[in-house]
DNA sequence: AGGTCTTTGTCTACTGCGTT
DNA sequence: AACGCAGTAGACAAAGACCT
């Protein structure tokens, strides 16, 4: 006894294209015009598709045209198929295999960069089959995960390159001193560097010698700041919260604090030129064999920021590179 | 009433597959 | 290779429903 054909076997894919045009034109006649066939041919095709799918796909009469629930589901699936087929067009033309899968990105929070956002927009268009998972974490956790060879790339503060962690400097970040609106210095007309030396500090956990924000601690030490650290956090947003509360003065990246200054929550303090540059690095495992998508992402991001490509020979051919 | 849109029935052309 | 069969796509004609 013959088995009933599974859905994909009994469905004629060509009818899906006709159905997509019908759904877009919201009319069989207009679909026929666009497909360069007669309206009856479109009607026949729709009926055949409804027979194959086992239910009505379109509620249609002279007054009304609407996809049924089943029709909407099929339309969504057909769009997805269409999108995947369209990718093949550029793939075949370029001779480069389509990149698919998932790219995991670990990012430090409150990273502000128009260049990165523009890069991501372009990357999304170029590789629509590649899913992106983004998790925000403190830099120390990102480096730990990358060092454990988890299948991820990171955007983090990275004080040094090691055998396990490779890095490329990406986004320059100038750190400066700030106070919140509840701090006594916020409303003082003129503030000099001398006024800051005895002020209590809000700091990052990583704001210690040898850690990723050591440059901030070095500055305090070098310029003989005598105030004590009265509050600390591992995250830029939480440091801001402590500054808003008025615990003390603290360091923040200018890019992440700019909006708060404009909106009257923070005040930028001397020195005018800031106190240290701590770039955000693109980091990846030095031990794990990277996926083609990861290499393309790394090279593309370095291109976007005008940095040297770490994998210049790889191009975008899908060739893989280890450390 | 005439025009438009959709549906239905019938026919032809084409293609793929199995058989000879 | 040639043939026949089955399935599919699409054209044509006709009819029904609805709008102006």
Closest protein residue to B4 (Cα–C1')? A62
End-to-end Cα spacing for chain A: 58
Residue (of A249, A199, A204) closest to A224 by Cα position: A199
Let me know whether A54 and A71 are in one domain.
yes
Distances (CA, A) of A215 to A136, A230, A258: 23, 19, 21
- Which of chain B's bases lie under 7 Å from a protein CB? 4-10
Distance A52 CA to B2 C1' (A): 37
Distance A45 CA to C17 C1' (A): 21
CB within 7 A of strand C (chain A, 116-135): none
CB within 7 A of strand C (chain A, 63-92): 63
Q: Taking chain A (323 residues) in consecutive chunks of 10 residues, what is each chunk's mean pLDDT?
A: 54 79 81 79 83 78 72 83 70 65 84 87 81 86 87 88 90 92 93 90 78 81 87 86 94 90 94 90 89 88 90 50 37
Give the count of domains, chain A.
3
Distance A13 CA to C3 C1' (A): 30
In this structure, are residues A138 and A238 in contact, taking their beta carbons and an 8 Å threshold? no
Let me know whether A162 and A286 are in one domain.
yes
**Nucleotide with smallest C1' distance to residue A59 CA:** B6
Distance A48 CA to C3 C1' (A): 29
Quick check: is A204 in a domain? Answer: yes
pLDDT score, position A234: 78
Let me know whether A249 and A271 are in one domain.
yes
Who touches strand B, with Cβ under 7 Å?
A: A 27-29, 39-40, 43-44, 46-47, 60-62, 65
Angle at the Cα of A139 (from A133 to A143), degrees rounded to 5?
Answer: 80
pLDDT score, position A261: 94
Distance A5 CA to C5 C1' (A): 21
- CB-based contacts of A18: which residues, under 8 Å, 6+ apart? A31, A35, A42, A45, A46, A49
pLDDT score, position A267: 96
Let me know whether A271 and A295 are in one domain.
no
DSSP category for residue A216: H
Let me know whether A80 and A151 are in one domain.
no
Let me know whether A178 and A270 are in one domain.
yes
pLDDT score, position A79: 81
- Domain edge (last residue) among A94, A117, A135: A94
Let me know whether A141 and A199 are in one domain.
no
Let me know whether A14 and A27 are in one domain.
yes
Domain range for A76 is 7-94
Closest protein residue to C18 (Cα–C1')? A62
Q: CATH no. for residue A20?
A: 1.10.10.10
pLDDT score, position A321: 39
Residues forming beta bridges with residue A284, ordered by sequence position? A166
Q: CATH no. for residue A109?
A: 3.40.190.10
Q: Which position has the token pair 């009304």?
A: A64
Q: Is the Cβ atom of A18 within 7 Å of strand C at any atom?
A: yes
Closest protein residue to C11 (Cα–C1')? A38
**Nucleotide with smallest C1' distance to residue A10 CA:** C7
Let me know whether A30 and A71 are in one domain.
yes
């Amino acid at each position: 006894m013959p088995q009933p054909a599974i859905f994909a076997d009994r469905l004629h894919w060509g009818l899906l294209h006709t159905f997509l045009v019908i759904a877009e034109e919201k009319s069989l006649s207009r679909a026929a015009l666009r497909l360069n066939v007669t309206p009856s041919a479109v009607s026949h095709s729709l009926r055949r598709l409804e027979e194959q799918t086992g239910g009505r796909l379109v509620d249609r009469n002279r007054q009304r045209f609407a996809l049924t629930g089943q029709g909407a589901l099929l339309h969504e699936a057909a769009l997805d198929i269409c999108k995947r087929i369209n990718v093949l067009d550029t793939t075949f033309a370029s001779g480069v295999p389509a990149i698919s899968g998932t790219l995991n990105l670990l990012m430090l929070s409150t990273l502000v960069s128009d260049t990165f956002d523009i890069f991501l927009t372009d990357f999304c268009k170029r590789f629509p089959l590649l899913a992106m998972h983004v998790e925000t974490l403190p830099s120390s956790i990102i480096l730990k995960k990358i060092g454990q060879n988890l299948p991820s790339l990171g955007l983090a503060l990275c004080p040094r390159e090691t055998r396990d962690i490779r890095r490329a400097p990406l986004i320059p970040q100038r750190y400066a001193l700030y106070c919140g609106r509840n701090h006594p210095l916020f409303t003082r007309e003129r503030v000099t560097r001398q006024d800051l030396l005895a002020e209590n500090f809000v700091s990052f956990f990583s704001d210690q010698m040898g850690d990723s924000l050591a440059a901030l601690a070095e500055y305090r030490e070098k310029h003989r700041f005598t105030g004590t650290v009265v509050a600390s956090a591992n995250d830029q947003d939480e440091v801001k919260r402590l500054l808003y509360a008025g615990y003390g003065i603290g360091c923040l990246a200018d890019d992440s604090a700019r909006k708060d200054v404009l909106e009257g929550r923070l005040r930028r303090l001397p020195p005018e030129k800031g106190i240290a540059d701590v770039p955000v690095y693109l980091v990846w495992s030095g031990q794990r064999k990277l996926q083609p998508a990861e290499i393309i992402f790394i090279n593309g991001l370095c291109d976007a920021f005008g940095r040297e490509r770490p994998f210049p020979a790889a191009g975008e051919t899908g060739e893989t590179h280890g450390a």
